[in-house]
Amino acid sequence: AATEQMTALESLVRRAVREQPVWDFHTHLYPPSFGTPFSGAANGADPKGLMLWGIDELLTYHYLVAEVFRVVPARQLPYDDFWRMTKSEQADHIWKHLFLERSPISEACRGVLTTLQRLGLDPGDRDLQGYRGWFAQQDPNRQIDRVMEIAGVSRITMTNAVFDDNERQRWLENQDVGADSRFAAVLRFDPLLCDWPHAAARLTEWGYPVGPTLDDEGVEQGRRFLRDWISRTRAIYCAVSLPPEFLYDGMEDSRISSQVLRRIVAPVLEETNMPLALMIGSKRGVNPQLRDGGDMVGLADVASVARICADLPRNRLFCTMLARENQHELAVAARKFRNLMVFGCWWFVNNPSLIDEITRMRVELLGVSFIPQHSDARVLDQLIYKWDHSRELIANVLVDKYRDVAATGWRPTEAEIRRDVRLYFHDNMANFLASP
Ligand code: RAT
Ligand code: ZN
């Protein structure tokens, strides 16, 4: 009878995790209003469009670009030759070298297979032309609904990079560009904190005159810039990615990044009642030839995050870190500060073995008070595999944790399990966004 109860508990947990719709905390996905370079059955491809979907985009994901350069000798394919190929030629190249000439067992390769399978295509066919034919018949807008349905995603959070000219122009030209209710905007402004001279020059050019050092007038202009863009995009939070070297030393810290954070970003976010997401640990462009795939991981300073939480108690921070070695300290920091919400297994830690390890540790230290995962999908269809794989791993952890308490005689009810899973996949994000 005891084992029967355990099996019942396990299937309850697995079902709850499978069925709970998720608000995806962080992606790089866009609705069709931002244009799509591959229009499928719809008319009107936009070569610089931001909505990426389909098999060629899946295969040319920057995770796979980095992997293919490892296995093809430099003399056979110099970087420039790869970048001169069309998207389909690049996809053919990756398919040949990473799927056919060696087995696709890396997480990024496996992801393509899971995605095809759950879309109803058979990876066993190994028929790239056939998959292309199928995608070419789909309508991008309807594909969004289909993918969200299969992945169990009820809201997609974008990353709206205001310093990206292509994207900024689209917001300026069409005030309804972000109006698709399936998507929520996030204002992303890395240069404000990472490269002030560049940010200041751009702000000045855009009608917000600020100097290379920060005086009171510059602070006012910086705040006005943020307010304008928060209202234009109707962002639900703001975000920055910071390098491993990022430091914050406290109220007296005169670094320009600390001043911008304290004097411009924090006050505007407080007045708009909005959290800031910090993604820390990515060293940009250690191999620029790989483009998006050329960034490295580095150990970051968790103490700086703790100091920000202490110095800015009226601000709320979401935080994720890229280095495996930072995960434990970050979870401990979250125990100290309720204005810190840990989220996701980001990029190089978004691998089964590490998701398992990190999620277990977080449950043990934080109970249900964190956001276990985000997809970081750049290609629409990736939502399927990212969530499929993560749901399975999160369920494994939860099964063990509920079993441990059940062994004491504490029997979690189905309603309680569903409540907890809803916190992980939806309510923690919603509550943290809303709470003053
Ligand atoms: O995971 C990724 O796709 C990275 O290229 C980055 O986009 C990272 O997630 C980021 O948001 O900076
Ligand atoms: Zn990202």
Q: What's the mean pLDDT in 383-393? A: 99
Nearest atom within ligand 1 for CA of residue 347: 1
Q: What's the mean pLDDT in 301-321? A: 98
Q: How does the average pLDDT of the chain come out, rounded?
A: 98
**Ligand 1 centre from 66 Cα, in Å?**
14
Which-ligand-closest: CA of 295? 1
pLDDT higher than threshold 80 for residue 416: yes
Report the C-alpha gap between 322 and 298 in whole angstroms: 7
186 contacts 238 by C-beta, under 8 angstroms: yes
Other CB atoms within a 10 A radius of the CB of residue 209 amount to 12
Residue 4, pLDDT score: 87
**Ligand 2 centre from 346 Cα, in Å?**
8
| ipTM > 0.90 (yes/no) | yes
Q: Which tokens belong to 119?
A: 């879309």
Class of domain 55-136: mainly alpha
Give residue 402's pLDDT band: very low, low, confident or very high (50, 70, 90).
very high
Which-ligand-closest: CA of 378? 1
Q: How does DSSP classify residue 23?
A: E
Q: Specify the residue for token string 């719709």.
A: 21
Residue 436, pLDDT score: 67
3-state DSSP percent of the chain in helix, strand and coil, to 5? 55, 10, 35
Which residue intervals of the chain bear CATH 3.20.20.140?
A: 2-34+152-434
Nearest CA to ligand 1 atom 10: 241
CB of 292 sitting under 6 A from ligand 1: yes
**Ligand 1, pocket-test mutation among 50, 158, 190, 347, most atoms within 8 A of CB:** 347
CA 249 to chain centre: 27
Residues, CB within 5 angstroms of ligand 2 (ion): 376
Q: Which tokens belong to 152?
A: 């169990």
pLDDT higher than threshold 70 for residue 123: yes
Residue 25 identity (one-letter amino acid):
F
Residue 217, pLDDT score: 97
At what angle are helices 62-71 and 107-118 packed, to 10 degrees? Answer: 130
pLDDT higher than threshold 70 for residue 386: yes
Q: What's the mean pLDDT in 235-257? A: 98
Residue 5, pLDDT score: 83
Instruction: Note the CATH number of domain 2-34+152-434.
Output: 3.20.20.140
CB of 382 sitting under 6 A from ligand 1: no
Which residue intervals of the chain bear CATH 1.10.2020.10?
A: 55-136
Q: How does DSSP classify residue 348?
A: G
Q: Which tokens belong to 314?
A: 């009226």
Of 107, 101, 94, 102, residue with least CA distance to 55: 94
CB of 374 sitting under 6 A from ligand 1: no
Of 326, 193, 301, residue with least CA distance to 249: 301
pLDDT tens string 24-77: 999 999 999 999 999 999 989 999 999 999 999 999 999 999 999 999 999 999
CB of 241 sitting under 6 A from ligand 1: yes
Q: How many residues does the chain have?
A: 436
3-state secondary structure of 341: strand
Report the C-alpha gap between 121 and 102 in whole angstroms: 21
337 contacts 19 by C-beta, under 8 angstroms: no
Other CB atoms within a 10 A radius of the CB of residue 175 amount to 9
pLDDT higher than threshold 80 for residue 319: yes
Identify the H or E element spanning 276.
strand 276-280
Report the C-alpha gap between 294 and 304 in whole angstroms: 26
